[in-house]
Amino acid sequence: MNTRTFVTEDNKYHIEVLGNGWAYSVTDQRTGNNFFLQDHDAEQLQRETDDFACTGALDLYMEALGGEA
């Protein structure tokens, strides 16, 4: 499976991309909280975060879905 990782511009979130965007694992680098989305949910995450540029939107996802990794 094709996997790549990157960190958001503000260094707050570590993103693991699985299968060319089929799924995303997002980890808050300060707290270690994490969430995972795949398929249509992963596509929606990418759109709503403007390709992970909007960390405010990632904050909302983390608040709703995040748990200890």
Query: What residues does each domain of the chain span?
Result: 1-33
> How much of the chain, in percent, has pLDDT values that exceed 70?
97
In this structure, are residues 5 and 14 in contact, taking their beta carbons and an 8 Å threshold? yes
Segment 21-50, tens digit of pLDDT: 899 999 999 999 999 999 999 999 999 999
pTM for this one? 0.92
Among 12, 13, 54, 15, CA closest to 4: 15
In this structure, are residues 62 and 49 in contact, taking their beta carbons and an 8 Å threshold? no
